[in-house]
Amino acid sequence: MPGAMSDPVDASRDVYRAPVGTRDVLPPESGRWVEIVAAFATRAARFGYGLVVTPAFEHLEVFQRVGETTDVVRKEMYEMLDRGGRRIALRPEGTAPVVRAYVQHRPTPPWKVWYVAPNFRYERPQRGRYRQHYQLGAEALGVDDPAVDVEIIELVHGYFRDLGLEQVTLLLNSMGDERSRPAYREALQAYFRPFAADLGADFAQRVEENPMRILDSKRDDWQEVVERAPQMYDYLTDESREHFEQVERGLDALGIRYEIAPRLVRGFDYYTRTAFEFVSDALDAAQNAIGGGGRYDRLAEEMGGPPTPGIGFGIGIERMLIACDAEGAVPARAARVDAFVVDAVGGLEAAVLVAELREAGLASDRAFGGRSVKAQWKLADRSGARFGVMLAPRELARGHVAVKDLVTGEQVEVERDRVPAWLLTRVGEERR
């Protein structure tokens, strides 16, 4: 297709495989997704955040607002012309669309929302880094009280704790505001310039265009220089410093531990003041951030809205699950049904019984396609069902069915009409 993205290293790809850098999530692994998204939705609701759903693509300009000099905008965006000639891009991150929605709909602040959505970045795929990744995130717009920064961090912190993730460190920094940034930028440029000749064209370009983009680079050959760079903290205005200290005091009061990370700058230009990242000590350093976020007090205004401060975060689901694997948290569990109905009578009896069980709230299944009774019992075993319920002609004629405990092998006869109630009691006792 003319104008379509081509990937030279991928020319002989098998087209009936998921594209490079994307993954299918199948059961039982997908069961973990259900669990973590449900846990997040519950926690977000408890904090007063409502779900927001925005399109997977936006006008290109929306995403250009995250920073013209960032890797995401410059090198990684999936942008295209649609058939109507509009310049659109697939969502590379979740904050810009939420702020765009805020500016468009003008909800009454504070506006507190959460989301779960795929993001698209044309990156070099590796473990923990994909071309499509999912984020769980939240944004709070309309308040610049440091207490909201604390609330946002508390939302993530407790979420990881609830999932059983323990080897997670919270890194905290202030990116300053529009008044402290110019002086810091100049200090960085003055410090970096003498190294530009040795460290390559990319380095030299970043020094002039956006020296903060050097601080968040993972390039090994730049690290020595980066480590001795001037620190933002020394350039903060009194106001930004006071904000930062109030965030620290708020976190202290809630017993949330953090490390000050003076060189944490995050990858987007919209950040102001509070910036944070949760890193998993169980992951490789290059992909150890399982979540991150910060303030973006100018973004709504840059999109033509009223001046509206904001703060939020995004958690990478795939990366978080790699951290869970490393720590043995949120194990994948095969879905099990409560009852598997084995049909030895034919007709519609089995269908009616399964429907009754399901309506009663019992996970139930059966075989299709007129399988032999032996084959049906095999399927019942393989399904991991707790009970097998057998419809057989002789028992049914007396108004009974045979219920087999598939763990102990014990078998009892139960009145046909009492089967849902009987199973509910047994399953309920075990769940308790």
Least Cβ distance, residue 2 to ligand HAM (angstroms): 28
What is the Cβ-side half-sphere exposure of residue 322, based on CA atoms within 13 angstroms? Answer: 21
Token couple for 99: 């702020």
- Report, in Å, the least distance between residue 349 CB and ligand HAM: 50
44 within 8 A of 114, measured Cβ to Cβ = yes
Distance CA 175, CA 267 (A): 12
Q: What secondary structure letter does DSSP report for 18? A: P
**Least spacing, CB of residue 76 vs ligand HAM, in Å:** 8
Q: Which is nearer to ligand HAM, 67 or 291 (CB)?
A: 291
Q: DSSP characters for 364-431?
A: EEE--S---HHHHHHHHHHTT-SEEEEE-HHHHHTTEEEEEETTT--EEEEEGGGHHHHHHHHHHHHH
In angstroms, the CA 52 to CA 30 distance is 22
Query: CB-wise, 189 or 210, nearer to ligand HAM?
Result: 210
**Residue whose CB is less far from ligand HAM, 94 or 309:** 94
**Residue (135 or 364) nearer to ligand HAM, CB:** 135
Whichever of 141 and 339 has its CB closer to ligand HAM, that residue is 141
Q: Which residues bind ligand HAM (CB under 6 A)?
A: 93-95, 121, 123, 128-130, 133, 135, 137, 139, 267, 289-294, 312-314, 316, 318-319
Min separation Cβ 135 and ligand HAM, Å: 5
In 158-184, which positions are buried (b, 16+ CB within 10 angstroms) versus exposed (e)?
ebbeebebeebebbbbbbbbeebbeeb
Amino acid at 94: G
Minimum distance from residue 9 beta carbon to ligand HAM (Å):
18
Phi, then psi, of 404 in degrees rounded to 5: -110, 130
Q: Order of strands, edge to edge, in the sheet holding 168-174?
A: 50-51, 111-120, 132-141, 310-316, 289-295, 272-280, 168-174, 259-260
**Between 33 and 340, CB nearer to ligand HAM:** 33
Q: At what angle do helices 146-163 and 317-327 cross, to 10 degrees?
A: 50
Angle between helices 349-359 and 419-431 (to 10 degrees): 40
Instruction: Using the minimum distance from each CB to ligand HAM, give the nearer residue, 313 or 340.
Output: 313
CB of 232 or CB of 290, closer to ligand HAM: 290
Closest approach of ligand HAM to the CB of residue 395, in Å: 55
Residue appearing with tokens 């519609």: 348
Cβ closer to ligand HAM: 133 or 400?
Answer: 133
Least separation in angstroms between CB 297 and ligand HAM: 11
Contact between 311 and 293 (Cβ < 8 Å): yes
Residue 244 and residue 240: Cα distance in Å, rounded?
6
Helices 29-46 & 317-327 angle (0-180, nearest 10) = 110
CB of 424 to ligand HAM, least distance (A): 42
Strands, sheet with 79-81, edge to edge from the N-terminal-most edge strand: 57-59, 87-90, 79-81
Q: Which sign does the torsion angle of CA 86, 90, 96, 102 carry?
A: positive
CB of 110 or CB of 267, closer to ligand HAM? 267
CB of 152 to ligand HAM, least distance (A): 8
> Between 93 and 338, whose beta carbon lies closer to ligand HAM?
93
Q: Nearest residue to ligand HAM, using CB?
A: 316
Name the DSSP letter for residue 131. S
Q: Helix (H, G, I), strand (E, B), or coil: what is residue 415? A: strand
Work out how close the CB of 131 gets to ligand HAM at its nearest, in angstroms, rounded to a whole number.
7
**Residue 354 beta carbon to ligand HAM: minimum distance, rounded to whole angstroms:** 40
